[in-house]
Chain A
Amino acid sequence: MKARLGGYALWQLRDFVFERAAAIVVVNAAYLWVGHQQVTVANAALAQGGEPALELGRRLVAAHLGSVWFICALIAVNGISANDRTSGRFRLLFAKPVNVLHFYGQAFALHGAAFMLGTVAAVAALTRMVPVNGSTLGSALVILLVSYLLAGGIGFLFSALWRFDWLSTGGAFGVALYLAASFPNARWLGALPPFWRIFEQIDLIKASAALEARPLLWIAAYGIACFLLGLIILKRRPLAT
């Protein structure tokens, strides 16, 4: 008899809602409040309408994305596989006819969907405060998606490796941003997790420019490669530690 992993997806989603969603909502709400303050200050631009109001909208969306994308992705994948190993819960779960890779692959996808839902809802809430045009919304959606793929993929990889995944992902984020700022032209930057490229794309929203396909593809490919590497490690590593 095979596990009904599809049926278990509802339980995984429920876990996300009870254990992670509140943190994502709080982070988004906090930055929405900051955005609301800026709107109050910039009332004149809003009253003027037209391009000044749209520009304010673009700036607010960009500021919101820049503030929440990493922390929300981190919340979404923190301990995604390591928690089961360190708590010993894997023993009863994986004595059932469950494919470990399918189980955590499904969790990664569901957490991604929930991350998108939460963050897109926050951006939608922003559109209630300021006018935001369709292309800005489309760009925000793409940036959130590649953000999850990158930060989520790296978090997934670290979680497959050891228990301190949030610390490692946060460390990788800090180091990559520092090195990219200090050595902007270094060739070896290409090997690092391209976290700073996401901020570059967010800046394009502010400038009302179209997103660049190549960096976006690179960000997504980097995250997916990390996710796949995480799956390979999960396949090869012992479940018991």
Chain B
Amino acid sequence: MPVDVGPRAGPHPVPVTLTINGMRHDLTIEPRVTLLDALREYANLPGTKKGCDQGTCGACTVLVNGRRIDSCLTLAIMHTGARITTIEGLADGDRLHPMQAAFLEHDGFQCGYCTPGQILSAVALLAEKRPLDDASIREFMSGNICRCGAYKNIVDAVAAAGKQNV
């Protein structure tokens, strides 16, 4: 008797339902579509950025169930049922998330392209309860490249937001 192998999908486009920033998104995509491309090209949420598409630069960082991950290194279809947070979902209406406000105040960005990833990574860093000294922040923010070189200001922003949090 053949064993039931559970649901299978693809290779052609299939319905995939994602919960992004608390909203349900019904997409029709191939299984090979990364979470990053699903956000940018199918869900009209281009705030998440594509920098390297190989998990090195961190521009595509999103939160999945509160944890930071590289959305370019994971498939959208793997995250049905998960809670996905992107930069578009971080502020509470017009009220900025304290981390966003800290990045603005400390000028923690220049061109802005790595910024959504930096901010989400920093939000996760606080949730991970990392020590908030300079060395620790630098270490745990090193999955996000900022080519403009705003690192010092990023560290200042994370430290400031961290103090508020405590």
> A and B from one assembly?
no
